[in-house]
Structures are given as structure tokens and as C-alpha cells.
Amino acid sequence: MYYVYAQTMNGKTQYGLVVGASVEDYMTGKIKKHELTRRDKEEDRMKHVRVNDANIEPVFFAYPDNRELNEIVTKTTAQHPEYDFVSVDGVGHHFWLIQDEKDIQRITEFFAAMPAMYIADGHHRSAAAALVGAEKVKNNPDHTGTEEYNYFMAVCFPDSQLTIIDYNRVVKDLNGLTPTEFIQKLEKNFTVEPTGTEIQRPSSLHNFSVYLDGRSFSVTAKPGTYNDNDPIGQLDVTITSNLVLDEILGIKDLRSDKRIDFVGGIRGLDELKKRVDSGEMALALALYPVSMKQLMDIADTGNIMPPKTTWFEPKLRSGLVIHKLH
């Protein structure tokens, strides 16, 4: 069977299909990535899959919106759900079974015809599940291609239903600059306007909020400082990494530099203000969230997003569905 797994957060519901995704599709790039993975993190999750001989943590995929798939989901969710509960974090989880053979066949056909699917969240889980599947292929002399280990568990959502939340930055020091000197350096590549003492939410692409020394500023990248024809160059994380973190603050490597930390937008702008006001951090940088179109364009062109670019909520619940590999 297939299953519909819906999640409700802040009054909005998104409807996903729980599927077995092809290990081969992952290995050949039909399932597209937008982030780099670390081998140690992959291996950690591979142990989990090997020991359980099952996928227990689903991967979060996006697919291009499809009207007929939506119709099957709408028809299914008009019935009484099999499971329906609210978890301790206030997220609603709703679950239906798709048992009609015609619907099952049509879903399979629609996914077979899709040119690509996109990993939204769970790059390490995807890699681990696919690599364990590939190990099992190698270790089975009687491999036929129909075994369960040829697939790993994913929940696939139409791209139109997904919202990417901002992923913000806080920095420990101003690289020897005073707050006034830092703002003066910002003005080389950005239009800077004071906005009071409360950190503001960025209003649009290429607009940022900077908070330091108890003051908030609206900061907009000047034309010519970025390339909107370059899927990576147009990202706000790229603009701020190059022109603020590297050029002004001397932070070259976001993955390893201990002077920077990352705060998921789900924790709110107050968290940024609190960490600066407490003296723990000197500067907060709030970014406008990446769009699903930007994510898919980057994956389609074979590019990789900078670290800590996307944050998806709500997260998928582990253990609601288990896919055994034997």
C-alpha cells in the first residue's frame, strides 16, 4: 500500500505520500540533492539502518505539483483517518491508507513518469538508506532487483505545499571593529537603514536584518553585488557569506569556524536578540528564507547550497511507518 501522511502546524496542513524510493534513482541522481553530506554522519545513520534492518526514519522529498496525484490524496483524506493525534510540540499528525489497487497503480505510474524528485530535508538519512541498500545488493549473489532493500522510505510532498523557514546567523565578535566601524564597512555593498531597537524580519530577497549593540538595521544589497542569473550567486546566504562574514568579519569557512553559530527561524527573531543582548554574541544576521524554486533550480543545475541554508518545519515523525529491508 501507499499511505497519506499529513501534518498540521500553525493552522496549515501539508499532505505527503509515504513511498519506497528507489536506491538506484538515488545513486543515478534522479533523486536530486542540494546539500553536501559528511561521511561520519552518513555512517552513523547507516549503523541505525543496518542494525534494525529497516528504515524507521523517513526522508523528506518534494516533487513537482501534480493535479491527478492531488486528486487521489484529496479523495483519500475525505475518509476517516487511520491515525490522528497531536504530538507534544503541538503538531498534528494524520494518517490514511491507500488500498485501492487502481489508485496504487496510478500513483506508481505518476512517480515513474516524473523526471526528478528533490530531497527537501534528510540528506544524510537518504545517503545512509541508499548506501545500505547498495551494500545489500553487493553482498547478495542471488540479487534480483525486486528485494525490499532496493527501496528506502520517503514521504513525498508537492512542492507548492512546502514552506522553507529562514536560517539565521549569530557571530561572536566583530573582528576587531567597533559597531560604528562595522556599519561603515557594510555601507560599501549595502544600503543600511536604522530600524530601532527591535530586530525586524527581512522584507524581501536580498534584504537582511542586522542586530548589534542594542540596535537593529535594515540592510539591502546594492545592485551589482550579486548575480541573479547564478543559482548560487543569487542566494542571500551566498551574498552575506561573501560580503559580510568573509570580507568584513574574516569568517572563511561556515562549516568549521567556531565564531559563528546558526539559529533556525522556527525559534524566532527574539532568540537572535537574546543571544546578542546577553553578550554571548556580538552580531545577529536575519535572512529572508530560500524559496522552493531556488532549491529546485540549484538541484537541477547540479549545484550545492552553502551550509545551513534551509530549515523545514514541521519535521517528519519517526516510527509511524517502518519499512523492513528483508
Cα distance from N-terminal residue to C-terminal residue, the chain: 17
Residue 245 sits in a domain whose CATH number is 3.30.1760
283 and 182 in one domain?
A: yes
Tens of pLDDT, residue by residue over 265-282, are 888 899 999 999 999 999
Residue 51: predicted pLDDT:
96
Q: Which residues span the domain enclosing 57?
A: 2-163+312-324
86 found inside a domain: yes
Nearest CA among 154, 146, 100, 88 for reference residue 127: 154
What does the pLDDT look like over 211-245, one tens digit per residue? 999 999 999 999 999 988 898 999 999 999 999 99
Query: CA of 257: how far to CAs of 27, 141, 216, 251, in Å?
Result: 31, 46, 25, 7
Whether residue 175 is contained in a domain is answered as yes
Q: What is the DSSP letter of 280?
A: S
User: What average pLDDT is seen over the chain?
Assistant: 95
Give the pLDDT score at 239.
95
What is the reported pLDDT for 37? 86
**107-161, pLDDT tens digit by residue?**
999 999 999 999 999 999 999 999 999 999 999 999 999 999 999 999 999 999 9
Considering the domain architecture, whether residues 81 and 186 belong to the same structural domain is answered as no
Q: Quick check: is 26 in a domain?
A: yes
Within a domain: 6:
yes
Residues 17 and 132 in one domain: yes
Whole-angstrom distance, CA of residue 104 vs CA of residue 107: 5
| Average pLDDT, integer, range 7-17 | 96
Q: CA dist 23 to 4, 27, 45, 230, 319, Å? A: 21, 6, 16, 31, 20
The tally of domains found in the chain comes to 2
36 and 111, same structural domain? yes
Q: Which own/partner pairs from 234-238 qualify as long-range (CB within 8 Å, at least 24 positions apart)?
A: 234/205, 234/294, 235/290, 235/294, 235/298, 235/305, 235/306, 235/309, 236/205, 236/206, 236/208, 236/287, 236/288, 236/290, 237/167, 237/287, 237/290, 237/305, 237/306, 237/308, 237/309, 238/306
Residue 38 and residue 153 in one domain:
yes
- CA 133 and chain centroid, separation: 23
Same domain assignment for residues 318 and 224: no
Report the CATH number at residue 84. 3.90.1530.10
pLDDT range class, residue 256, cuts 50, 70, 90: confident
Is 299 part of any domain? no
Examine residue 297 and state whether it is found in any structural domain, yes or no. no
Kindly state whether residues 153 and 70 are assigned to the same domain: yes
Q: How far apart are CA 282 and CA 209, in angstroms?
A: 14
DSSP assignment letter at 157: E
Whether residue 154 sits in one domain with residue 7: yes
Task: Please indicate, yes or no, whether residues 184 and 157 belong to a single structural domain of this protein.
Answer: no
Whether 112 and 153 share a structural domain? yes
169 confidence band (pLDDT: 50, 70, 90): very high
Confidence check: pLDDT of 36 > 90: no
> What mean pLDDT comes out for the span 313-320?
92
Is 230 in the same domain as 178? yes
Radius of gyration of the chain (CA): 22
Looking at the domain assignment, is residue 82 inside a domain? yes
Q: Hunting for cell 532487483 — which residue is that?
A: 145
My answer on whether 133 and 100 are in the same domain is: yes
In a domain, 295, yes or no: no
Which pLDDT tens digit goes with each residue over 58-111? 999 999 999 999 999 999 999 999 999 999 999 999 999 999 999 999 999 999
| Average pLDDT rounded to a whole number, residues 33-62 | 93
SS3 state at 150 = helix
pLDDT of residue 207 exceeding 90: yes
